[in-house]
Structure 1
Amino acid sequence: MQPFSQTEPIIVLDFETTGLYPAKGDRVIEIGAVLLREQKIVDRFQSLVNPGFFVSREIETITGITNAMLSEAPPALEVMGQFVKFLDSHPLVAHNASFDRSFLEAELDHLGKKRPLNFGCTLQIARRLYPDVINYKLETLIRYKNIPVNSQFHRALADAEMAALLWFKIIEDLKSQFGFENITFDLMKKIGKLNKDLAFDLLLKEAEDSRTDQIGTTGNLFG
């Protein structure tokens, strides 16, 4: 099997948060991210984040992140400053990327750094590639594809690592099932936007095109 055609690193990230809506004041409480190069995880970033207020008992239960843990964590501005350096100008991937993108944009606003973001989404690609899955939660897809689980779901670094393994598996399936050769980051984004009802035929067409196109680059995170 040919390696994934990737000329620049990609970062897969995950946030644990105080709620669902950054526009209503919810904040990030944990960041996890992995740097991918040539289908390998080559670096990691993880930190708890003190949001400046107490989180609900529900969030403590879901994530296992307690208010006691967060009280000792560094503040958001400090962590985000370090995280921006880790992100560099790389493209990003997340599972349900619209959620993570909204929180990253909000945290960058707090940091005073407004920058356009370049995101790919494993959830949206999985909807096109695996139409018969009962749901598209990360845990469901990990088990559906028989990817070994050796970490706790709903912790940021563990979820980022598992999303990265899902990203690798999606690439493998695109090659074996449809005959893709040159798979670029832009192509992965395009697949995530295909018409779901026509996805199979469109994927065959995209695969045929990919066999004749030259390898592109992944593009930059920040414009």
Structure 2
Amino acid sequence: MYAILDIETTGGKYNEEGITEIAIYKFDGHKIVDQFSSLVNPERSIQPFVVNLTGINNDMLRNAPKFYEVAKRIIEITADCVLVAHNAKFDNRILTTEFDRLGYNFDLKTLCTVELAKKLIPDLPSYSLGKLVRTLGIPLSDRHRAQGDAKATVTLFKLLLSKDTSKEIIQSLVRKDPKRQLEPKLLDIIATAPSETGVYYMHREDGKIIYIGKSKNIKKRLTQHFTNDNRKSKRIQLEVTAVTYEETGNDLIAQLKESDEIKCNKPLFNRALSKTIFTHQLTSFIDEAGYMQLKIEKADGRKQAITTFGNYQQAKSSLFKITEEFHLCQKLTGLSETKNACFLHSIKECHGACINEEAPDDYNIRVRQFLDKYSYENQHMLIIDKGRGVDERSVILIENGQYKGFGFYNLNFQINNIEVLKTIISPMQNNRDAQHIIQNYLRKNKVLKTVHLTTDNVDSRN
């Protein structure tokens, strides 16, 4: 049984393409016995040249199903089939990459009708699908659309089967995607890895950790490590003999754990990641008129930072959002160098601190509201989020503005005393990288809740 398919994509960088349309015909060697086709929302923009080529644009895909919504149907229709496509290496790579993102090992034998045609019908001027089917008199409608190209490939494949009377050529051309041609030890490592969020540790034969990483899908990330052909990946593939892992339940703890353990273990292949992960910071000062001003600066450990950023553009973008959210003044947040009223004042979003129309005490109230929300300086708090199972939660302890560590607790366990809480916390280093990870995560993501601590108990705030 054969699954003959065609895929249209967004275009873009290698292994970053997304599927925009897919068509599959299940073919028993004589007739089509099942079929499936659908537009797919790739959750990314389509390259302009692809729009011109296929006619598929972003508006057409806005309400289309995402890949995970059609994945089950693809698995069903291709089960126990040989995958057939024109340039099968490309289609199979795209498809396996999408399934890798879901943590599913999609692994079918493949046949390429380009290679088959070159063997069975040699010396043609071109083996592109359009020119090949035209030469062979095969009808082709909707060129560069998945259903039209896949249907033409069915007819082409049927013709090629009839020409292969000995069947030896087809058998010799059946192959797995080179992406899957891994050493048995690497395949075994991938097979036993979970498709969960956590931190993983690559070990050399003597047990020494040579690389530490984190991922929202450990199996997928290991697959990328072991199929990548850059210099670093190849060295890792040669040296790794085992991978251990720890699930964390959420990405925040995975990031904190990865950062801390890279610093402690200094693995051979983590040299770049052991450096500081932020370049800019946000500070505050009170000007001569009594207004609290905010300022983006290059990271400087000698100064107290409100929060930190991975790069200047991230800092500037975040500060624009903060300024708008708290109705601050662009002039006093360093986003406008005007000597007069700032732009937000002209649209009544700034209350006039830029031209001394708003009293400093009134303006500073909103600045402090921002500080209370985004900075945990001098705060006692817990950050509670998903755990490693449905009956578990994770907890991060911040004490007097210092990151103390993280732990996990069962939902049946009541955290109502700071000393009891400390017994389940794994102590971690409080450094600026950890503070950056926490602040950056809280700016971009929602956690289940934060809990502000008193001396002996807690008051929760969602």
Say yes or no: TM over 0.5. yes
* Structure number having the greater helix percentage: 1
SS in 2 for 1:53: coil
* Structure number having the greater strand percentage: 2
Deviation, 1:63, is 0.8
Note if 1:37 corresponds to 2:41.
Answer: no
Checking the alignment, whether the CA contact within 8 Å between 1:33 and 1:160 is kept in structure 2 is yes
Q: Pick closer, same or farther for the CA change 1:82–1:143 going to 2, 3 Å.
A: same
Q: Distance in 2 between matches of 1:56 and 1:20?
A: 7
Deviation, 1:187, is 4.8
Q: Pick closer, same or farther for the CA change 1:134–1:171 going to 2, 3 Å.
A: same
Q: Distance in 2 between matches of 1:84 and 1:142?
A: 29
Deviation, 1:113, is 0.5
User: Deviation per CA, 1:76-113, whole angstroms, max 9, x where unpaired?
Assistant: 11122321122122111111111011101101101210
Q: Which residue of 2 aligns with 1:190?
A: 172
Note if 1:57 corresponds to 2:57.
Answer: no
Gaps of 5+ in 2: 176-462
Gaps of 5+ in 1: 1-8, 194-223
Checking the alignment, whether the CA contact within 8 Å between 2:12 and 2:47 is kept in structure 1 is no
Note if 1:172 corresponds to 2:154.
Answer: no
Q: 1:155 aligns with which of 107, 132, 145?
A: 145
SS in 2 for 1:123: helix
Q: How does 1:126-137 map to 2 (within 5 A)?
A: 126-137=117-128
Deviation, 1:14, is 0.8
SS in 2 for 1:46: strand
Deviation, 1:50, is 0.5
Q: Distance in 2 between matches of 1:77 and 1:62?
A: 26
Deviation, 1:191, is 4.8
Q: Which residue of 2 aligns with 1:213?
A: none
Question: TM-score with structure 2 length normalisation?
Answer: 0.36
Q: How does 1:1-223 map to 2 (within 5 A)?
A: 9-19=1-11, 21-23=13-15, 25-149=16-140, 151-175=141-165, 180=166, 183=167, 187-191=169-173
Q: Pick closer, same or farther for the CA change 1:191–1:114 going to 2, 3 Å.
A: closer
User: Deviation per CA, 1:160-213, whole angstroms, max 9, x where unpaired?
Assistant: 1111110111122233xxxx3xx3xx85141579xxxxxxxxxxxxxxxxxxxx
Deviation, 1:157, is 1.4
Q: Distance in 1 between matches of 2:130 and 2:100?
A: 31
Q: Distance in 2 between matches of 1:127 and 1:162?
A: 17
What letter corresponds to residue 96 of structure 1 in structure 2?
Answer: N
Deviation, 1:119, is 0.3
Q: CA RMSD in A?
A: 1.9
Q: Which residue of 2 aligns with 1:200?
A: none
Q: Distance in 2 between matches of 1:33 and 1:111?
A: 20
Q: Distance in 2 between matches of 1:68 and 1:187?
A: 44
Q: Pick closer, same or farther for the CA change 1:27–1:43 going to 2, 3 Å.
A: same
Count of residues in correspondence between the two structures:
175
Deviation, 1:126, is 0.9
Checking the alignment, whether the CA contact within 8 Å between 2:84 and 2:112 is kept in structure 1 is yes
What letter corresponds to residue 188 of structure 1 in structure 2?
Answer: I
Question: TM-score with structure 1 length normalisation?
Answer: 0.73
SS in 2 for 1:160: helix
Deviation, 1:125, is 0.9
What letter corresponds to residue 84 of structure 1 in structure 2?
Answer: I
SS in 1 for 2:124: coil
Q: Pick closer, same or farther for the CA change 1:159–1:46 going to 2, 3 Å.
A: same
Deviation, 1:19, is 1.3
Q: Distance in 1 between matches of 2:174 and 2:33?
A: 25
What letter corresponds to residue 25 of structure 2 in structure 1?
Answer: V
